[in-house]
Amino acid sequence: MRRRCVMANLLAVAGSAPVGRVAAQDRTLLRVVVPYAAGGVSDVMARLLAESVRRHLGRTVIVDNRPGAAALIATRYVQLAPPDGDTLLFQNVGFVTLPMLSTAASYDPVTDFAAVAMTGIGAVFLMVTESIPARNTAEFIAYARDHPGLECANSGVNSIGHMAALLLEKRAEIQLIHVPYKGSAETTRALLSGEARMQVSVTTEALNPHIASGKIRVLGVGTRNRSRLAPQVPPIGDTVPGYAIDGWYGMLAPAHTPLDRREAISAAMARALAEPAIRERFAALYVEARHSGPTAFAATIAESRTSFQSIVRDLQLTPS
């Protein structure tokens, strides 16, 4: 009888008191989904943040690369994930442009996802291989007009690099051949192999040594003003009036993910972005480490959508 009573008491305690603790133990895995192949800028940034967040939250954090369909495969995966804060999407500003240009991207970047944290401000650069003799944006435009059909790499149709190149093509009145790849790691290989001769996109750690050697030349930056991370590079807009592409990187969660869970992850990311080692690695990618929480990041996403809607109208692009 005593044994039965003791066992009953133990079962009662196990069934009531530690429910929250058991649930917390079951929620140890945090999945960060990256829409691009391993080795690119987004992948490097996500892995740096994942390792730091793991230390700050005491959770297992894995980076899950799901490239393809101009980031739609990964984006849709997270959109359909449970809104519990355990599955995140690491994206760039191209996240807001895809639904404007692809009928397959039937999501609303404002209402179908919940902002977690902005993690950085990036810039696109006009880069050419050594086969193109131009030394600045004006010389490149002159060369492109004399040699229509230059192969221009991008990280996928409707990606930010694709949009940036389309805008340059229209504003500069040149003709390019847009060649899509599955992320910046592949575009880097294409440039180094000569498969592509230029791109308007972010740079990569793999490209940086070749930029330093002159094999790849950076002619202009897409920001309105000179970038603090590359002050020697003049804005493309100095030569092409009205040209400007600003970008960001950040974490998103499925819609309806509780704010307290997003804020906890955002706070861990803020601590990660304050680490000198991470800030230095971001700078090497020409990304300025910058944090904003769920509310401010949601406002940034909405502002970006408005800005790119104007660009899409200017380019007279329609969803396909």
Q: Do domains 29-120+247-315 and 123-238 have the same CATH topology?
A: yes
- Per residue in 55-77, pLDDT (tens digit) is 999 999 999 999 988 889 999 99
Size of the chain in residues: 320
Alpha-carbon gap, residue 293 to 267, rounded angstroms? 8
Domain 123-238, classified CATH 3.40.190.10, yes or no: yes
The token duo for 238 is 């100095």
The token duo for 43 is 């992948």
Domain coordinates in residue numbering, the chain? 29-120+247-315, 123-238
8 has pLDDT over 80: no
256 Rama sector, left if φ>0, alpha if ψ -120 to 50, beta otherwise: left
Q: What are the φ and ψ backbone dihedral angles of 62, each rounded to 5 degrees?
A: -120, 145
- Per residue in 273-285, pLDDT (tens digit) is 999 999 999 998 8
- Per residue in 92-107, pLDDT (tens digit) is 998 998 899 888 898 9
CATH superfamily of 29-120+247-315: Bordetella uptake gene, domain 1 (3.40.190.150)
Among the listed ranges 18-22, 226-230, 231-235, which one has the minimum average pLDDT value? 18-22
The token duo for 13 is 């305690």
For the chain, the 3-state helix, strand and coil shares in percent, each to the nearest 5, are 45, 20, 30
Which amino acid appears at position 76 of this protein?
Answer: R
Tell me the whole-structure pTM to 2 decimals.
0.78
User: Mean pLDDT in the chain?
Assistant: 88
Could you identify the residue written with the tokens 């987004």?
Answer: 42
**Residue 54: per-residue pLDDT:** 94
